Structure 1
């Protein structure tokens, strides 16, 4: 998988057909150029999405803002100043590319002051060298390294809000740099929010029941969602799915993330400081490795879901697996199953939980209800493996 580099390009002529060969040449090397005509337009986008871009490419002359009547050096000066101001948030390598002879052939005061070379966009050797240097400088950036080292994840995250990508970049950056100072409250919350995004995606294609994401001001109930996708009965919504979507390991990872981060219900009302398990853990261990392990588990969940959702995207088919069930006045689930066997001693058998658990029917109930193999019955199972309160359907 080739590395991809995202470049913010400020050039008032970035849409000019004459520059199309340059753009194509860059893309052939994995350099994706996002062009803007003015300093204000380009850097507004940059500041709203710092982790998207690896390098900044500047023309020597471009508009400072939408009110500028002609391209001028003021835009370049403003851009360089802003790049320096942004260093506390993210350091960007930047390059200047121009076709203006008074920048390429003559010493320019602005470029000279900052010791910046101006590449000549009309010189093929300069362009070739520029693209090479862009990749070299980008490869030295830790955020770029993280994206390239985790391409499977970041390709998937293109389908999620930018803040999801930024959460993983922050965690992976701290892990890469050996920074052990983490705020569990903040990052555990972010992991829960990422799960919420995944569950909303699952609901949008019918994999997850509406009840799990449309209760209480459209909040996502993480526990109920996890149960539903794992093939189990929800505890409160009386719905389940006849198709088990989560493989066992994915189901266990999701369950572990939800339990460990303290998200017994909704993402918005959980205080990890009230999680007794976490507080007890922290009295013995204060390392960041618990957070790292949860983040890596979640990475696998996201990558798995991306592939699964693409091959199971038929909404009508997915929704056809949704089932409702009822409970009796004591909260016991009312099962509806077919008798699969009657033994020689008169005892019958039905299977629940998608055929994974056999339930016995007392021989007296068989006789009293005149039951036989193939009959469908309603019943409940309380504290043992015997069907009770049987009604023949």
Structure 2
């Protein structure tokens, strides 16, 4: 999706106005047209953050299924009030061919500037003012500056409900002097990360057992960074830097959500600190993660392909069949001839002895040519 200006357009005759649609393209405006007050207002209520301005005809239907002849100018006033109740920052414009609208005092008070349909100069002036209003709207400027992160907070990716959370975080980055209690915003960051995990699970990049199990947040972070004891990566799941970002974000947000019993003491640290750099750096890590994940999800959304990139670690039963003088041991899998070396550190840490029965998990070398013992889990 390009960085266009999205304009909600309510006009019962929009389908016949192909020339206006073409003009809109020249001005980087994308219309989302409706025929009625209820159709347009319902869309705006459900997706208000999507739109940068609103364009009305002076007369249109109450409902999308209404028939010609039922148009009325009263619906434009109700539509404006309804939309303004949802977002007071949105700008309104009127493009109409109804001459009676210009003679109404009520209409002139509600819409000081009305543009004429079919008049080239008026239509050009409309688009110039429309684009200018969009460009100068603070929310629109932020949506363009942080385009990918805000796109991630739509229903196609993480869900629109996260838009306001991200907006508040971005406002803190844009105006750090206005940050009040930084640690109180960590929950919003964590909820966005949870939504990232849910989306990655949907496309097969995180196992169901982790998402549906206890400790799913920490488990998902461990899995993406290749640290989860129960799974191994056959291929890279996501870029290591993004996995690192997420791991560090969770270190701060998970710790900061506990006033007592935390490892790092993030809440107390932020409370006693005179700066907000830790909080800002965590938000910036989130923004970098969202920015990169949009392209990743767009290019890696085939679930079957992603599922093939990882597998559950198999627990192998066997026996210590040799311990050499240099400390290295040899593990032999039960009921097979497979033998795997045991590093001296594992021998001493688990206090292994010759002929001892153990359970291990394994991992492949980076080039997939050798198998190593990942962990001794049963002694």
TM-score by length of 1: 0.74
Q: Distance in 2 between matches of 1:80 and 1:309?
A: 37
**Counterpart for residue 370 of structure 2:** none
- Write the mapping of 1:231-380 to structure 2, written as runs, cut at 5 A: 231-234=226-229, 238-262=230-254, 271-274=257-260, 276=262, 277-285=265-273, 287-320=275-308, 321-326=310-315, 360-362=327-329, 375-376=339-340
Note the alpha carbon deviations across 1:32-78, whole angstroms, 9 max, x for none.
11122222332232233322111111110112456976111211222
Q: What runs of 5+ residues in structure 1 fail to find an aligned partner? A: 264-269, 327-333, 349-359
Q: Distance in 1 between matches of 2:328 and 2:195?
A: 44
CA positional deviation for 1:392: 11
1:60 is aligned to 2:58: yes
Distance 1:228 1:34, change over 3 A: same
**Counterpart for residue 144 of structure 1:** 140
**Residue aligned with 2:288, SS:** helix
Q: Distance in 2 between matches of 1:115 and 1:392?
A: 77
1:226 is aligned to 2:221: yes
- Write the mapping of 1:85-96 to structure 2, written as runs, cut at 5 A: 85-86=85-86, 89-96=87-94
Higher mean C-alpha displacement, 70-79 vs 282-291? 282-291
State whether residues 7 and 54 of structure 2, in contact with CA within 8 Å, keep that contact through their aligned partners in structure 1: yes
CA positional deviation for 1:187: 2.9
**Residue aligned with 1:191, SS:** helix
**Counterpart for residue 9 of structure 2:** 9
Q: Distance in 2 between matches of 1:298 and 1:37?
A: 40
Q: Distance in 2 between matches of 1:174 and 1:20?
A: 42
State whether residues 24 and 30 of structure 2, in contact with CA within 8 Å, keep that contact through their aligned partners in structure 1: yes
- Write the mapping of 1:107-256 to structure 2, written as runs, cut at 5 A: 107-114=103-110, 116-158=112-154, 159-178=157-176, 180-182=178-180, 184=182, 187-215=185-213, 221-234=216-229, 238-256=230-248
State whether residues 143 and 173 of structure 1, in contact with CA within 8 Å, keep that contact through their aligned partners in structure 2: no
Q: In angstroms, what is the RMSD of aligned CA positions?
A: 3.8
CA positional deviation for 1:336: 8.7
Query: How many equivalent residue pairs?
Result: 347
Q: Distance in 1 between matches of 2:132 and 2:279?
A: 32
1:42 is aligned to 2:33: no
**Counterpart for residue 352 of structure 1:** none
Q: What runs of 5+ residues in structure 2 fail to find an aligned partner? A: 361-379
- Write the mapping of 1:68-83 to structure 2, written as runs, cut at 5 A: 70-83=70-83
Higher mean C-alpha displacement, 63-72 vs 139-148? 63-72
Q: Distance in 2 between matches of 1:13 and 1:201?
A: 39
CA positional deviation for 1:387: 6.6
**Residue aligned with 1:261, SS:** helix
State whether residues 93 and 111 of structure 2, in contact with CA within 8 Å, keep that contact through their aligned partners in structure 1: no
**Residue aligned with 1:8, SS:** strand
Distance 1:385 1:100, change over 3 A: same
Q: Distance in 1 between matches of 2:46 and 2:302?
A: 35
CA positional deviation for 1:156: 4.0
Distance 1:163 1:335, change over 3 A: farther
CA positional deviation for 1:141: 0.8
